[in-house]
Structure 1
């Protein structure tokens, strides 16, 4: 509610001070539940918070990290976070769409495959259409869902909203959904990437250089 009110006042210039926010009302205490944090970010609000959040979550993984995202154009910090956690022995699985609605983003994403696979990450390309789910699960207990892609547009330009959850039951449900994506995917092998034509690898790398404006 507070985040909605903040956005509303910023966009319209109207004051919502006459409305009482939930935090100001007398409500019955909630028993049970689990920790959760909603995070709204954008170019004018908490700039840079999203890549910092993802980098910290990735670094916190101890045994397993699974991420699905339709658009993968990471900054250097995020890319190295994924490589570092895989080098540390964590099982890192990344799920992208096999056919993207943006051929430019698709080429940029694939420019990172060699580095990720060489570090030990596992990449799956979803065959059932444009997989648009943005999900992250860590060690069976922490999960993240929301609107942020792992790309520079989400990090620096877009207004995004995500929720971080610490609950084994919900994390298991998201994990099972991720497994269904993997079941409908093709695994990308390092040996396959190394046989891509030279001109294709150059093309992917050239496109990746314009990542900040994609």
Structure 2
């Protein structure tokens, strides 16, 4: 699973959530939007989701990555090539 989320906990009360990546290209071309939320409950709720993703994930080992099964390498490459269409 891949988590693609624009969520930034700014402090204990404030979080920023949005649809655009935080780079110049995205701001200029993609017309995404961000929302600053001042609500400790909202921030804590999003942080709990992020923590659950961390608990369910595993670290990729750069030494074992090239040894992954050929079918997985094929699927990874197809996903990368078609990412603009997704």
| TM-score, structure 1 as length reference | 0.26
Deviation per residue, 1:81-106 (Å, 9 max, x gap): xxxxxxxxxxxxxxxxxxxxxxxxxx
* Cα deviation, residue 152, structure 1: 4.0
Correspondence 1:170 to 2:42: yes
The structure whose residues are more often helix, as a share, is 2
Larger radius of gyration: 1
Correspondence 1:149 to 2:21: yes
- 1:3 maps to none
SS of alignment partner, residue 136 of structure 1: strand
* Cα deviation, residue 179, structure 1: 0.6
* Cα deviation, residue 186, structure 1: 2.5
The structure whose residues are more often strand, as a share, is 1
| TM-score, structure 2 as length reference | 0.58
- 2:8 maps to 136
- 1:158 maps to 30
Which residues of structure 1 form unaligned runs of 5+? 1-128, 196-214
* Cα deviation, residue 140, structure 1: 2.4
SS of alignment partner, residue 164 of structure 1: strand
Higher relative contact order (CA 8 A, sep 6+): 1
The RMSD of aligned alpha carbons is 2.2
- 2:80 maps to none
Which residues of structure 2 form unaligned runs of 5+? 64-86
Instruction: Give the number of aligned pairs.
Output: 63
